[in-house]
Amino acid sequence: MKKQASLLLAGMLLITSLSACGESPEPNTGEENGEHSSITLRNYMALPTTDPADTNETGVLTVNEQIYEGLYALNEAEGGYDKLLAKEVEISDDGTIYDITLQDGVKFHNGETMTSADVVFSYEHFMANSKYNTYTNMIVDVEAVDDTHVRITLDRPYSPILHTFYKVKILSQKEVESQGDEFGTVANLAGTGPYSWDLDAYKPTTSWTLNAFEDYWQGAPSIKTINYVVIEDDAAAVIALENGEIDWMTVPLANWDDIKNSGKFATDERQSNEIFFLSINWEASDILANDKVREAIAYAMDREAMNQIVCEGLGTVTNLYINPNYAEAAPTECDITYPHDVEKAKELLAEAGYPNGVDIGEIVVAAGRNEAYATVLQANLAEAGITAKLTALEYGAAVDRSAIQDFDLYVAYDSGNYDFNNFRQQAHSESVGIMTISFVGDKFDYKHFEELFAEGERLTNEEDRRAVYTELYNEVMATYCQLPMVVPPVCSAWNPDLNVVSVPTYYRVADWSWS
C-alpha cells in the first residue's frame, strides 16, 4: 500500500481523544538525599483487580510483575525460563510428577515466611478461576510434602509446563484469607516480589504506589518507589514524558519519530510480542456461517493499510498468530494466506449468494488503539460491498462480550505468548472464558485440533512439536475464523539517566537503576 493510499484511508479514522483519566503527577525529580530513589510510570488503564488470578490483561500483568512471583520467571531479555521461587526441580521419568524444593527464607510482604502450604493454596486459587484454566487444566494434584517441598502431579506429560509455573503466582494464604471477599478489590500484602503495594496510596482508577520490599529474598531493589499514574490518552502521556513527569513509557507510534529524534531520551525499538487479530464468529448468523463469506472478509482486509495508518509503517503484516521469534515451537509459515484483493472478495461473496454485497452485523472493539484497526477494517469491507456497524466499548466491556462470543466480528490483540501451546486459548474447547471463537460442533473438526494440541504437549523435541503445531495451525486458519493482522513494534523512551533492561512486554523495575 502506497503512503498516499494510506493517507486517504487515514481520513476515515475519526477517533475521539479521551481526556486523561489520571491525576497528573508532579514533575518527578526522583531524588532523595541527592540520589535518585523513585520512578514514575504511565499505566494506560485503571486496575480492575489486585488478584493476579483474575486477570489476563497486559496493563495489569505488567504491574503485577513487580509485586508477585511464580515458581519460575520468564526471561524475556535472553529467552526461556529461570527458576525463581523454585530452588530445585526433579521430574519423574514419565514427565508427570514435579518434585520442587522451595527457595529458603522467602518472605511475603506481610512478613510471613513462604511455605509449601502457600504454594498449594495459590495453585488451588488459580485453578479455581476459569481465566487460568488453559494454564492449569493439566494439573491433577498439588501436595505439600513438607514445609519446603511441593509435589505437582500432571495428568499427562506437558512440555510447556514452565509457562504455567511462571503464570501462577504464589500468594500468602494468610493474607488472602484475612481479606476475604475484599481480596482483589483492595491493595494487599500477599506477594513475594521486589515491590509491595502502598496500602494508603491505592487509587485504582487514577494512581497507585509500589514501595521497595526491604526484606526481598534477592535483595531490595535500588529504585525505592514506583509511582504509577493512569493516563488513558496517548497525547497526554507524551506531554507528560516530555515534561519529565514520567520517566519511562511505551511511546505511541504517531509520536515515535519526534521522541526518538529529539535527543532528549534513551530509546529502544523492536518487534513486539503482540498480535492484532480479527475473530469472525461463525455462530453469530447464517451469513457468517457461510465459509465463502468469512474468506471474503479475509481478502477484503487491507493489513498493509492498517500497518501504515496505525503503526506508521513500522509494524509487520503477518499470517502467524504467535510470533516464532519469541515463542517456542511456533510455526514459521502458514499455508493459508489472504493478500488484500477486493475483486477476489467480491467473487467469493457472489459465490456465497451475495452478488450485491451483504450486511454482516457488528464489529465489536475496545476503544483506543484497537479501534484504529477496526476503523480501517470497516472501510476495507465497505470497498468489497460488506457493511458492518462499528461498536467501540470500554476495554472491560469489550473483553466480556468476546468471552461469551457476543459479537459478529471482534478486533483485539493478544500478547505475551512464549510457547505455541498458548494458542489453545483460541482453539481449544477447554478455554472457556478466554477464547473468542468456539469451534465446538459439527462444522469443524475441533476434536482433531485438540488431538494435535495433546500431541504437541506430549513431545519434548522442539522441531517435532513445531511440525505438529504447523499442521494444527493450518487447520485452524482454514476456518477463516481467526485472522492475524499486524504485529506492531514496541517503541520505548526514558530518562537518559535511567538504566533500563528493555524487553517486549513484562518489564521489571527491580532490574533497572539510576545512573
**What local confidence, expressed as pLDDT, does residue 56 receive?**
86
Integer Cα distance of 507 and 121 in angstroms: 27
User: Is 299 found in the same domain as 196?
Assistant: no
* Of the candidates 33, 48, 23, the residue with the CA atom closest to the CA atom of residue 396: 48
What value does the mean pLDDT take over residues 304-332?
A: 95
- Helix, strand, coil percentages in the chain from 3-state DSSP, rounded to 5: 35, 25, 45
Which domain-ending residue is among 198, 214, 230?
A: 230
Integer Cα distance of 283 and 301 in angstroms: 21
What value does the mean pLDDT take over residues 34-40?
A: 80
Q: Is residue 70 part of a domain?
A: yes
Torsion of CA 438, 369, 245, 503, to 10 degrees: 60
Task: Quickly count: other Cβ atoms within 10 Å of residue 315's Cβ.
Answer: 23
Q: With both helix axes pointing from N to C terminus, report the angle between 369-383 and 303-310 in degrees, rounded to the nearest 10.
A: 140
What value does the mean pLDDT take over residues 53-60?
A: 92
Torsion of CA 416, 222, 495, 16, to 10 degrees: 50
**What local confidence, expressed as pLDDT, does residue 466 receive?**
97
Sign of CA dihedral 398, 403, 406, 412: positive
**What local confidence, expressed as pLDDT, does residue 320 receive?**
97
**What local confidence, expressed as pLDDT, does residue 156 receive?**
92
What value does the mean pLDDT take over residues 148-160?
A: 95
39 vs 431, which has greater pLDDT?
39
Integer Cα distance of 260 and 378 in angstroms: 32
Task: Quickly count: other Cβ atoms within 10 Å of residue 394's Cβ.
Answer: 12
| Averaged pLDDT score across all residues of the chain | 92
The grid coordinates listed for 310 are: 496505525
**What local confidence, expressed as pLDDT, does residue 131 receive?**
86
User: Per-residue pLDDT for 3 more than 50?
Assistant: no
What value does the mean pLDDT take over residues 491-515?
A: 96
User: Is 295 found in the same domain as 191?
Assistant: no
User: Is 284 found in the same domain as 220?
Assistant: no
Integer Cα distance of 67 and 75 in angstroms: 16
Burial 97-130 (b: 16+ CB within 10 A, else e): ebbbbbbeebebbeebebbbebbbbbbebbbeee
**What local confidence, expressed as pLDDT, does residue 11 receive?**
43
Show the domain range for 322.
Answer: 275-487
DSSP character at residue 322: S
User: Is 304 found in the same domain as 211?
Assistant: no
Integer Cα distance of 232 and 230 in angstroms: 6
What value does the mean pLDDT take over residues 185-197?
A: 98
CATH number of the domain residue 225 falls in: 3.40.190.10
Per-residue pLDDT tens over the stretch 98-142:
999 999 999 999 999 999 999 999 999 999 998 898 899 999 999
DSSP secondary structure, 209-231, as one string: EEEE-TT-TT---S--EEEEEE-
**What local confidence, expressed as pLDDT, does residue 31 receive?**
53
User: Is 99 found in the same domain as 177?
Assistant: yes
Integer Cα distance of 312 and 305 in angstroms: 10
Integer Cα distance of 102 and 97 in angstroms: 16
Q: Is residue 498 part of a domain?
A: no
The three-class DSSP label of residue 260 is: helix
The helix/strand count (H/E) of the chain reads as 17, 23
The grid coordinates listed for 143 are: 501436595
Integer Cα distance of 313 and 1 in angstroms: 10
User: Per-residue pLDDT for 26 more than 50?
Assistant: no
Q: Is residue 91 part of a domain?
A: yes
User: Is 82 found in the same domain as 174?
Assistant: yes
Which domain-ending residue is among 230, 247, 262?
A: 230
CATH number of the domain residue 418 falls in: 3.10.105.10
Q: Is residue 515 part of a domain?
A: no
User: Is 459 found in the same domain as 398?
Assistant: yes
Count how many domains the chain has. 2
Task: Quickly count: other Cβ atoms within 10 Å of residue 233's Cβ.
Answer: 17
Per-residue pLDDT tens over the stretch 68-101:
999 999 988 787 899 999 999 999 999 999 999 9
User: Per-residue pLDDT for 453 more than 60?
Assistant: yes
Strand 38-43 to 225-230 pairing: parallel
Q: Is residue 29 part of a domain?
A: no
Query: Grid coordinates 479501534 are at which residue?
Result: 371
**How many CA atoms lie less than 13 Å away from 246 in the CB half-sphere?**
26
